[in-house]
Amino acid sequence: MTRKSWTHEGVCWVAGRKRTLPETIEVTDPADGRVIGCVPRGGVELAREAVDTASEAFPAWSRRLPRERGQVLKDWANRILDHRAELAKLLSQEQGKPVAEALGEVETAAEFVEWYGEEAKRISGEVLPPAKENQQMTVLRQPVGVAALITPWNYPAAMVTRKAAPALAAGCTVVLKPAKETPLIASALFELLMETNLPHGAANLVTGDAASIGDTWLGDYRVRKISFTGSTGVGKELMKKAAEHVKRVSLELGGNAPALVFEDADLDRAADAIVANKFENGGQMCNGINLIFVQEPVREELTERILARVKALRVGRGTETECHVGPLINQRACHKVQALVDDAVNKGARLRYGGEPLLEGEYSNGHFYRPTVLTEVDDRMDLTRDEVFGPVAPILTFRIEEEAVRRANGTPYGLAAYLFTRDGGRIHRLTEGLEAGMVGVNGTSLSFPQAPFGGIKESGLGREGGLYGLEEFLELKFISTMLD
Ligand X SMILES: NC(=O)c1ccc[n+]([C@@H]2O[C@H](COP(=O)([O-])OP(=O)(O)OC[C@H]3O[C@@H](n4cnc5c(N)ncnc54)[C@H](O)[C@@H]3O)[C@@H](O)[C@H]2O)c1
As annotated, the active-site residues are 252
Please answer whether residues 137 and 478 qualify as being in contact, where contact means their C-beta atoms are separated by less than 8 angstroms. yes
**366, 32 in Cβ contact below 8 A?**
yes
Does 385 bind ligand X (CB under 6 A)? Our answer is no
Return d(Cα 213, Cα 475) in angstroms, integer.
Answer: 25
Q: Which of 96, 145, 166, 254 binds ligand X (CB under 6 A)?
A: 254
**Interacting residues with ligand X between 398 and 417 (CB under 6 A):** 415
Among 61, 293, 420, 453, the residue binding ligand LTNE7NMQ under the rule CB under 6 A is: 453
Q: Can you tell me the distance from the alpha carbon of 98 to that of 449, in angstroms, rounded to the nearest whole number?
A: 22
**According to the 3-state scheme, what is the secondary structure of 44-78?**
HHHHHHHHHHHHHHHHHHHHCCHHHHHHHHHHHHH
Between the CA of residue 262 and those of 109, 245, 432, 440, what are the distances in Å? 34, 48, 17, 14
The region of 23-31, 122-130, 152-160, 305-313 touching ligand X under the rule CB under 6 A is 152-160
Least distance between ligand LTNE7NMQ and beta carbon 429 (Å): 26
Residues 340 and 452: their CA atoms lie apart, in Å, by: 31
Question: How far is residue 431 from each of residues 249, 411, 436, measured CA to CA in Å?
Answer: 27, 17, 9
Nearer to ligand LTNE7NMQ by C-beta: 59 or 233? 233
Q: Least distance in Å: CB of 329 to ligand X?
A: 8
Question: If you ran DSSP here, which 8-state letter would residue 42 be given?
Answer: B
Cβ atoms < 10 Å from Cβ of 30: 30
Q: Which of 30, 96, 145, 152 binds ligand X (CB under 6 A)?
A: 152
216 binds ligand X (CB under 6 A): no
The amino acid present at 436, given as its one-letter code, is A
The Cα–Cα gap between 38 and 180 comes to 10
Site string for ligand LTNE7NMQ, 277-316 (x = CB under 6 A): --------xxx-----------------------------
Q: Out of 231, 330, 365, 409, which residue is the one contacting ligand X (CB under 6 A)?
A: 231
Our CB check for ligand X shows the closer of 53 and 207 to be 207
**Among the candidate windows 25-33, 186-194, 227-235, 319-327, which touches ligand X by CB under 6 A?**
227-235
Contact 418, 444 (CB under 8 A): yes
Query: Which of ligand LTNE7NMQ, ligand X, none sits in contact with 231, Cβ below 5 to 8 A by type?
Result: ligand X
Point out which span in 22-30, 164-172, 210-218, 421-429 binds ligand X (CB under 6 A): 210-218
Rounded-to-integer distance, Cα 210 and Cα 393, Å: 32
Residue list 114-173, contact with ligand LTNE7NMQ (CB under 6 A): 154-155, 158
Q: Which is nearer to ligand LTNE7NMQ, 158 or 175 (CB)?
A: 158
Contact call for residue 179 and ligand X (CB under 6 A):
yes
Of 21-60, which residues contact ligand X (CB under 6 A)? Answer: none
Question: 110 or 415, CB closer to ligand X?
Answer: 415
Q: Which does 157 bind (CB under 5 to 8 A by kind): ligand X, ligand LTNE7NMQ, none?
A: none
Residue 420: C-alpha distances to residues 264, 302, 424, 475, 484 (Å): 8, 12, 11, 39, 62
Smallest distance from ligand X to CB 162, Å: 8
| Cα→Cα distances 357→215, 276, 338, 346, Å | 37, 21, 8, 18
Strand order in the sheet with 257-261: 350-353, 372-375, 392-398, 289-295, 257-261, 416-420, 438-441
Q: What does the binding site for ligand X look like in residue numbers (CB under 6 A)? A: 150-155, 177-180, 210-211, 214, 229-231, 234, 237, 252-255, 286, 387, 415, 453, 455, 460
